[in-house]
Structure 1
Amino acid sequence: MLLDLVAERGWVEITGVSAEVGVSAATVRRDLDYLAEQRLVTRVRRGALARADGHDVPPHFRARRHMDRKRRIGCAAARLVAPGGTIVLNGGTTVTEVAKALTALPDPGRGGAITVVTNAIDVAGVLAARPWITLVVAGGTARTQSYELVTSVSEAVVRDLRVDVAILGVDAIDPDSGPASHHEAAASVNRLLADRAGKVVVVADSSKLSARAASVIGPVTMVDTLVTDTDADPATVRRFHDRGVDIRQA
């Protein structure tokens, strides 16, 4: 429960949580120390912060952050998929919302079925039961941070792909440096996914705009459309527009 609160709010204060959940401050302090040792939170004076980099936080906890934003973004991105098209989805909590939104669309009927290629096992699980979605899963070694399958196996599958649209979740996207990931293996696969697509759509909530991550996926010019939320800073949105990126805010 304590990790849930940190993931949802971004930070918690010991005395406030103690009163809220009805346990002693000493118990909260001890639990936060344990979570910090597990690298699930960052311990600070009087409380704890959610880890800014998202490293090693299980996806089901990260999904709680900005949940409403991610759902809106997922629905907006799903509407960009044309009937009968072939798309590729990577992993991450926002892309999982895209997958959920795709399954909620009405059955397009004969000739409107879509093909989805993904390297994320949780995304595949969301899509697998829909008869109008042909699902292709690229293999590899699973990353615990995003459930993505990476390494040479998935890269070999991706190299033979040709898809209409790649819908990619990222750890950060900057108008100058472009989309990026905290992990080089994920960045390498995402780079290949983008290269095999006729159009690249990045889905990212506003907390990731102008953020930085270590492994750059490619220049911002590789991104055709950025789907974000209405809380995005207007000046940052203009900078993306100035670089030729189509911005959709949900």
Structure 2
Amino acid sequence: MGLLAQQRRELILEQVRARGAVRVSDLAGHFGVSDMTVRRDLDVLARQRLVDKVHGGATAVGAPSTEEPGFVVKSQRQLAEKEAVARAAARLVEPGSAIGLSAGTTTWALARLLGDVPGLTIVTNSMAVADVFRAAPRPDLTVILTGGIRTPSEALVGPVAVASLRSLNLDAVFLGVHGMSAAAGFTTPNLTESETDRALVEAGQRLVVVADHTKWGTVGISTIAALSDADVLVTDDGLADDARAVLAGEVDELVVAPVAGAA
């Protein structure tokens, strides 16, 4: 026997509060109901001011645009999806190139896959990314870690980081984001990190955004870049068809990585 509507809404609310954000498609699959049923449930919860509705889902009330989970917490989420995205992104890294890697758990996963790419120069404001290469030093690898103030996501941000990035010229920048949406573009919940990320983006000739499907519909307080600024967006095959259509119309190239193929 299926759940009563009120029971389902209570369970949806529990998920929103535990995860910070939920997607309509994920909830529909979890409860075995239609997307329309989930949207009606979210409408009810939003009218009761228990959740905030966003495109494609809902977020916890009062927290979504500025909430910044720590690196350890984020590194445990969507592991298979991030691995799939990282593997697809690694194929875009050219030997002998100078690349930028922003802070984030997806770029950290990407860094761990670059051990066999020769002759790289890597610029990053991520302490976790720098640690990956420090643990396995190579004579043909140059790692430049910006200075700055440390954030919960292990990013170094602020005027010192921005100043160092503005003097550099990179072949490509791989950018991890907190959220992405049609209206807000690629966003972060940290205003200072946004400024640093923008400086990193401006340093690169090519922008590759790496973001798993759960980032769609999530909006941070500050926009890093518009969707159309991305030369490539690498995501996973959990991304809904309507989101794919929007993104395909904005970014130059949309790469959808199959999660089942991730090791």
TM-score range, shorter chain: 0.7 to 0.9
2:167 paired residue among 160, 176, 182 = 160
The higher relative CO (CA closer than 8 Å, separation ≥ 6) is in 2
Q: Is 1:191 aligned to 2:191, yes or no?
A: no
Instruction: Give the direction of change, closer, same or farther, for the CA distance of 1:61–1:53 in structure 2 (3 Å limit).
Output: farther
Q: Is 1:78 aligned to 2:86, yes or no?
A: no
SS at match of 2:114: helix
> How far apart are the structure 1 equivalents of 2:70 and 2:243?
29
Q: How does 1:1-250 map to 2 (within 5 A)?
A: 10=19, 55-103=67-115, 106=116, 108=117, 112-128=118-134, 129-131=136-138, 132-144=140-152, 146-250=153-257
Residue pair 1:172, 1:210 contacting (<8 A) in 2 also: yes
How far 1:177 moved relative to its partner?
Answer: 2.5
Residue pair 1:209, 1:236 contacting (<8 A) in 2 also: yes
How far 1:179 moved relative to its partner?
Answer: 0.6
* Uncovered stretches (5+) of structure 2, i.e. residues with no partner: 1-14, 21-59, 258-263
Whichever residue aligns with residue 61 of structure 1, its letter is V
Instruction: Give the direction of change, closer, same or farther, for the CA distance of 1:119–1:244 in structure 2 (3 Å limit).
Output: closer
Alpha-carbon displacement from aligned partner over 1:26-49 (angstroms, at most 9, x marks no partner): xxxxxxxxxxxxxxxxxxxxxxx9
Residue pair 2:66, 2:190 contacting (<8 A) in 1 also: no
- RMSD of aligned alpha carbons: 2.1
> How far apart are the structure 1 equivalents of 2:68 and 2:241?
31
Instruction: Give the direction of change, closer, same or farther, for the CA distance of 1:229–1:213 in structure 2 (3 Å limit).
Output: same
> How far apart are the structure 2 equivalents of 1:210 and 1:159?
30
Q: Which residue of 2 aligns with 1:27?
A: none
Residue pair 2:66, 2:220 contacting (<8 A) in 1 also: no
> How far apart are the structure 1 equivalents of 2:160 and 2:168?
14
Q: Identity of aligned pairs, percent?
A: 28
SS at match of 2:197: helix
SS at match of 2:143: strand
TM-score (norm 2): 0.71
> How far apart are the structure 2 equivalents of 1:245 and 1:177?
18
How far 1:133 moved relative to its partner?
Answer: 2.1
> How far apart are the structure 1 equivalents of 2:107 and 2:133?
12
SS at match of 1:163: coil
> How far apart are the structure 2 equivalents of 1:56 and 1:242?
29
How far 1:102 moved relative to its partner?
Answer: 1.1
> How far apart are the structure 1 equivalents of 2:252 and 2:67?
28
How far 1:80 moved relative to its partner?
Answer: 0.5
Residue pair 2:64, 2:219 contacting (<8 A) in 1 also: no
> How far apart are the structure 2 equivalents of 1:246 and 1:158?
26
Whichever residue aligns with residue 123 of structure 1, its letter is V
Count of aligned pairs: 199
Instruction: Give the direction of change, closer, same or farther, for the CA distance of 1:55–1:177 in structure 2 (3 Å limit).
Output: closer
Whichever residue aligns with residue 227 of structure 2, its letter is V
* Uncovered stretches (5+) of structure 1, i.e. residues with no partner: 1-5, 12-48
How far 1:54 moved relative to its partner?
Answer: 8.5
Whichever residue aligns with residue 252 of structure 2, its letter is V
Residue pair 2:68, 2:189 contacting (<8 A) in 1 also: no
> How far apart are the structure 1 equivalents of 2:228 and 2:107?
21
Residue pair 1:180, 1:218 contacting (<8 A) in 2 also: yes
Residue pair 1:54, 1:62 contacting (<8 A) in 2 also: no
> How far apart are the structure 2 equivalents of 1:224 and 1:56?
26
